[in-house]
Amino acid sequence: MKDNRLALLLCLGVFGTLIILAIVFFKERIINLDMAFQAFLILKSGSLEIQSGRFGAAVTQVWPLTAQAIGLPLKGVLLAYSLGHVLWPACAAFFCWRIGQWRWSLAIALVATLMTTHTFYWLSEMPAGLAFLCAVFAWMHSKGSLASFRWWDWSLWLGALVTAFYFHPLVLYAHAFLCLFFLLEMQKPRAWAVMHLVALFIFGALAVLKYKVLKLDWYDAVAIKRQEAFGKLWPHWFDIESNRKFWDWSMHDYWLLWLIIAVCVGYYVWKQIWAKALFVAGWSLAFVIMVNVPYYEAVGQQFYMENLYLPLAVFASIPFMFDVLQGSIKSDHLAQGGMVVLVALFGLSLFRIGLNHRPWTEKLAWEQNFLRETATRTNRKIVISEKQVPMDKLKMSWGSPYEFLMLSSMVNPDSARCLIIHESPDRFDSLLTRPRLFFGAFKNYDFGQLPKVYFDFQDSSGYVRW
């Protein structure tokens, strides 16, 4: 019971800090690329906007949707979206604590912070999916075996596994890791192994169904196409630019993650648990190669690649919480030993997260400054070439129309502005004289299609090239 209370207090501290950061930096997090685009779609339709079939994203989209439904202004909707990405894993951690799985609560907090750096500001479905997956395993462990399932538990379990699978494709590797890791616990009864084998089989069947039977979404099809790099590069999988980039990022941002993995492997070697030592080390390194080879030219920026690496936090956190802390520190002395270690880990991770707001704040500041500089122009609808702006600061241009729209409309709905940065601005030349058209990265919208309560366009002039 003592450990249970300590776990709750520690999770409250971690997620409380993340909530503060999510409030302070809500514009950096939401008026940014994917989140700006999805917030735009949610406000436009007044419903969930699931992208690429990742319907697990509903657990974070429901927050801004609720804020919109109760009539909050744009700032309130965007703030709710930012908070939702923290409140969801916090709810998952509390669920684990409530069912008596306090180690899973702390594991969720570790997964949410141990590697997270730029992915606190560039948001995706991956962190929410990993938190959900951990909650599913916590529930499984509270049952102990399939024999403990009541008749309605089966449909809940299957539905939960399907949902976890459809958060993000790489959640598959975190799921396989968890199943195999707990299968290596030889002292557990046979029913325990059967439960994890069935969970592994279900995910495998889902993977076959999605990638071999059903028609692939275009985004997933591109990802599958990238897998051809394994054959193209063999046997030079290690001598590639993406590995060198990852090494640099690891030394600068992810060293704590690799320290924990090294501690776990060292602990298993010390205890002569050779299977787990080889499994944790081998799976982690193989996963890095599995991600890096398709991106061998290092075409992805760090924030995007970091999102793909996030399952590494699961590979580090679970062995650490369930073996290293449990085996090296007596449970009734958690406050003296384990708490000190965990507080240090969380403290370092939260400090790193807070410190890395700078490039995202600079990006936001540039856009706000550009809006101010162009506010008094006669023609305030502007099409801009990537060559005319600092792309090293802006990172990607496709989110610019939604970002500029959100930033301008937060002042007042009738301050809504239409600006777009594009690699091929001439594609809009034939539309420059359409004053009531909002230029988007993928689709253009008539002003009448957008909610006036949030975007009340007053500028009746046409577009101009910058």
Please, where are the H alpha helices in 240-357? 241-252, 255-270, 274-292, 302-309, 311-319, 325-328, 338-355
Mean pLDDT, range 23-32, rounded to an integer: 98
User: β-strand 445-446 against 381-385: which pairing, if any?
Assistant: unpaired
Q: Is the pLDDT of residue 328 over 80?
A: no
Same domain, 306 and 245: yes
CA–CA gap between residue 182 and residue 318 (Å, rounded) = 10
Q: Are 58 and 50 in contact (CB under 8 A)?
A: yes
| Other C-beta atoms lying within 10 Å of the C-beta of residue 319 | 25
Q: Is the pLDDT of residue 239 over 70?
A: yes
Q: Is the pLDDT of residue 321 over 70?
A: yes
Same domain, 50 and 145: yes
> For the chain, what percent of residues have pLDDT higher than 90?
85
Widest CA span in the chain: 75
Q: What pLDDT score was predicted for residue 197?
A: 97
Same domain, 262 and 238: yes
Mean pLDDT, range 320-340, rounded to an integer: 70
Same domain, 346 and 426: no
Q: How far is CA 326 from CA 29, 65, 322, 338, 406, in A?
A: 36, 41, 6, 9, 48
- On average, the pLDDT of the chain sits at 94
Final residue of a structural domain among 355, 380, 414: 355
Residue 237, both tokens: 């999988």
Q: Are 425 and 384 in contact (CB under 8 A)?
A: yes
Same domain, 148 and 191: yes
Q: What is the span of the domain harbouring residue 245? A: 2-355
Among 269, 295, 294, CA closest to 281: 269
Same domain, 281 and 376: no
Alpha carbon distance, N-terminus to C-terminus of the chain: 64
Final residue of a structural domain among 338, 355, 372: 355
Q: What pLDDT score was predicted for residue 336?
A: 62
Q: Is the pLDDT of residue 2 over 60?
A: no
Alpha-carbon torsion (425, 426, 431, 435), positive or negative: positive
Q: Are 261 and 281 in contact (CB under 8 A)?
A: yes
DSSP 397: S
Same domain, 264 and 132: yes
Q: Residue 382: helix, strand or coil by DSSP?
A: strand
Same domain, 373 and 330: no
Q: What pLDDT score was predicted for residue 4?
A: 80
Q: Peptide bond before 413: cis, by omega within 30 degrees of 0? A: no
Residue 97, both tokens: 């604590």
Which pLDDT band holds residue 215 (cuts at 50, 70, 90)?
A: confident
Final residue of a structural domain among 313, 340, 355: 355
How many CA atoms lie within 13 Å of 208's alpha carbon, on the beta-carbon side?
6
How many domains would you assign to the chain? 2
Q: Is the pLDDT of residue 451 over 50?
A: yes
Q: How far is CA 376 from CA 333, 380, 449, in A?
A: 65, 8, 26
Q: What pLDDT score was predicted for residue 332?
A: 46
Q: Is the pLDDT of residue 233 over 60?
A: yes
Q: What pLDDT score was predicted for residue 334?
A: 53
How many CA atoms lie within 13 Å of 245's alpha carbon, on the beta-carbon side?
21
Mean pLDDT, range 348-361, rounded to an integer: 98
Q: What pLDDT score was predicted for residue 219?
A: 78
Q: What is the pTM of this model?
A: 0.95
Q: What share of the chain is helix, strand, coil (3-state, %, to 5)?
A: 70, 5, 25
Same domain, 229 and 299: yes
Q: Is the pLDDT of residue 333 over 60?
A: no
Task: Give how far the C-alpha of residue 63 lies from the chain's centroid of Cα atoms, to the nearest Å.
Answer: 16
List Cβ neighbours of 300 (8 Å cut-off, separation of 6 or more). 242, 308
Same domain, 233 and 171: yes
CA–CA gap between residue 148 and residue 96 (Å, rounded) = 18
DSSP 440: -
User: β-strand 437-438 against 419-422: which pairing, if any?
Assistant: unpaired
Provide the strand spans (E) within 340-403. Answer: 381-385
CA–CA gap between residue 154 and residue 133 (Å, rounded) = 16
CA–CA gap between residue 4 and residue 122 (Å, rounded) = 33
Q: What pLDDT score was predicted for residue 51?
A: 87
Q: What pLDDT score was predicted for residue 298?
A: 65
Question: pLDDT tens, 72-109?
Answer: 999 999 999 999 999 999 999 999 999 999 999 999 99
Task: Give phi and psi for 15, each to the nearest 5.
Answer: -75, -25
Mean pLDDT, range 114-137, rounded to an integer: 97
Same domain, 369 and 351: no
Same domain, 296 and 442: no
Q: What pLDDT score was predicted for residue 3?
A: 64
